[in-house]
């Protein structure tokens, strides 16, 4: 889910078959409201006596977004997003040498914000010991929104290789994470830790062979160290294929140690399969012609619930971006292509705030939107399809919603407003 996008292009070079399994989400309705690829499978009905859905709304804030993207903590406030969030996941801390480590010291706690760019209109100081950077801006944001919680997320696509070593001594890893998150300079900023291991006992940017029991052991150590008063959460795979990534690790066994899971229900399909077939990266359900069974949101949710993970500990994942191909000749999903469509920061991926104008949705499939403009084909969620996914979240009694990531939304928070 969650990963620096500049490195996603490496997917194709790694292992196409395994990588196609990268995660995640879906939704319903946009454009002309047609499902032109055939009958969409209905999501499984909620179990009798299912608990009411939760209202968590969690957005990822990327530390590197302050550079090219020019997206700062203040933008969370000015967009109206802060008032709608319950939690922010700060991405990412590094995992190296078996320990949690700083990802970008300058962005995290050193960059000086002037009055105009600071959350509260007050410039950072250079006084000895003064906190600056994103951490100080998050501190200021929390003062404006006292109920808002912030978790420090570690790992991600790029930095997950370090979890293998961490898993060899979970207690030492947990101690290092606690010492870093609870550093006196910023302990008040964070309310817990989020782990984004891509993927335990499976392949992502690198391949892990820690064994099926490694993940629950790691999460158990983190819970023991952080205690019951801090949040401990994890972003996990949404690959529900037979013998896929959900099967590779004991997510059900680790569920007792987490407050909730964020199954990354997006990035199921993309232009790492350069010639297609074109497919929505975040289908809510299966559909006729889907390239891989088990690669959809409902399949992941049902599989995790079937393993014994409580619905209240599962959040619905939404992507605030689209994935696209170029060289297409077919408007509906399932067409051929010649490669990745151009993107602002990386080929094959683009923010919603750009796509809504550059390539407006022309149809829907499996609860999410798609668009063909010229020789390009894109899939992404819109306010209308997100509304459909929220209906699903309510029906399934899920704990809430999370999304990757805040800077993909419009300047007035169009997508987050559709999360209810």
Residue whose tokens read 């991405």:
91
Rounded Cα distance, 139 and 73, in Å: 10
DSSP conformation letters of 165-220: HHTTSHHHHHHHHHHHHT-TTTTTT-SEEEEE-S-TTSBSSSB--S-TTHHHHHHH
Look up residue 270 and give its two tokens: 């993309």
Mapping DSSP to helix (H, G, I), strand (E, B) and coil, where does residue 364 land? strand
Rounded Cα distance, 235 and 58, in Å: 12
Mapping DSSP to helix (H, G, I), strand (E, B) and coil, where does residue 404 land? strand
Let me know: does 309 contact 219? Beta carbons within 8 Å: no
Contacts of 243 (CB under 8 A, 6+ apart): none
**Number of residues assigned to the chain:** 420
Rounded Cα distance, 283 and 369, in Å: 9
Let me know: does 287 contact 37? Beta carbons within 8 Å: yes
- On the 0-12 / 13-18 / 19+ scale of CB atoms within 10 A, 64 is middle
Backbone dihedral region of 105: left (phi > 0), alpha (psi from -120 to 50 degrees) or beta? alpha
Question: Strands 400-404, 56-62: parallel, antiparallel or unpaired by DSSP?
Answer: parallel
**CA atoms lying within 13 Å on the CB side of residue 101:** 13
Let me know: does 176 contact 100? Beta carbons within 8 Å: yes
Backbone dihedral region of 327: left (phi > 0), alpha (psi from -120 to 50 degrees) or beta? left
| Catalytic residue (one of 77, 198, 350, 414) | 198
Rounded Cα distance, 264 and 402, in Å: 9
**198 in catalytic set:** yes
Let me know: does 418 contact 386? Beta carbons within 8 Å: yes
Active site residues: 198
């Amino acid at each position: 889910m969650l990963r620096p996008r500049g490195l996603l292009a490496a997917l194709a070079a790694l292992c196409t078959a395994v990588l196609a399994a990268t995660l995640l989400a879906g939704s319903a309705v946009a454009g002309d409201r047609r499902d032109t690829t055939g009958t969409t499978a209905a999501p499984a009905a909620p179990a009798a006596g299912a608990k009411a859905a939760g209202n968590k709304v969690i957005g990822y804030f990327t530390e590197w977004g302050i550079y090219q993207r020019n997206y700062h903590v203040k933008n969370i406030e000015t967009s109206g997003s802060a008032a709608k969030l319950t939690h922010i996941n700060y991405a990412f801390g590094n995992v190296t040498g078996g320990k949690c480590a700083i990802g970008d010291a300058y962005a995290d706690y050193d960059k000086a914000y002037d009055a105009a760019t600071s959350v509260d209109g007050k410039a950072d100081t250079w006084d000895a010991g003064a906190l600056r950077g994103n951490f100080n801006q998050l501190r200021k944001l929390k003062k404006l929104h006292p109920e808002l919680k912030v978790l420090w997320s570690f790992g991600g696509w790029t930095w997950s290789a370090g979890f293998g070593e961490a898993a060899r001594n979970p207690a030492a890893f947990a101690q290092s994470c606690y010492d870093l998150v609870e550093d006196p300079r910023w302990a008040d900023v964070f309310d817990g830790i989020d782990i984004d291991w891509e993927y335990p006992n499976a392949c992502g940017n690198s391949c892990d062979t820690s064994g099926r029991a490694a993940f629950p052991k790691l999460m158990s150590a983190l819970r023991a160290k952080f205690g019951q008063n801090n949040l401990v959460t994890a972003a996990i795979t949404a690959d529900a294929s037979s013998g896929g990534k959900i099967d590779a690790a004991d997510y059900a066994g680790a569920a007792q140690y987490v407050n909730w899971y964020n199954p990354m229900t997006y990035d199921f399909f993309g232009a790492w399969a350069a010639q297609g077939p074109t497919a929505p990266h975040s289908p809510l359900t299966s559909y006729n012609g889907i390239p891989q069974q088990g690669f959809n949101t409902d399949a992941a949710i049902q599989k995790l619930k079937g393993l014994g993970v409580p619905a209240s500990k599962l959040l619905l994942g939404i992507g605030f971006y689209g994935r696209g191909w170029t060289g297409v000749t077919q408007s509906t999903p399932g067409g051929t292509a010649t490669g990745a469509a151009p993107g602002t920061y990386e080929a094959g991926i683009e923010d919603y705030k750009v796509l809504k104008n550059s390539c407006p949705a022309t149809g829907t499939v499996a609860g999410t939107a798609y668009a063909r403009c010229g020789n390009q084909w894109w899939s992404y969620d819109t306010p209308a399809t997100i509304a459909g996914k929220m209906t699903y979240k309510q029906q399934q009694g899920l704990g809430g919603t999370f999304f990757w990531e805040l800077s993909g939304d419009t300047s007035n928070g169009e997508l987050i407003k559709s999360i209810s």
